[in-house]
Amino acid sequence: MKLPIIKHLTAFIEENDEDFVVETIETLEALTEVPSLKDEELDVIGELISNMYGAIEVNKSIKEGVPKKDALNNFMKRVLGSIDG
């Protein structure tokens, strides 16, 4: 996951609507079922999906009243903690 991408997607959600990102995730997940995709292509799609789910989580925290910067930092700490742990 990349913080700049999650930050950008979070801004997109704020300006537009979370439904756009949710529908994009569903579309990308459907694409992963194409049998001719190479592993590298699946990795890229997976990374995009992960970043989108991350932005949705950050947006949820913001809606709950957490300042944007803190929501982003808290999310990344949880991600890094789950990788390290």
Residue 66 scores a pLDDT above 90: yes
Q: What percent of the chain has pLDDT over 70?
A: 95
- Cα separation, 62 vs 70, in Å, equals 9
pTM exceeds cut of 0.95: no
- 31's CB contacts (< 8 A; 6+ apart) are 37, 45
pLDDT in tens, 19-50: 999 999 999 999 999 999 999 999 999 999 99
- Read off the pLDDT band of 84 (50, 70, 90): low
Number of domains in the chain: 1
CA atoms in the 13 A half-sphere facing the CB of 74 = 12
Q: Which domain holds residue 26?
A: 3-84
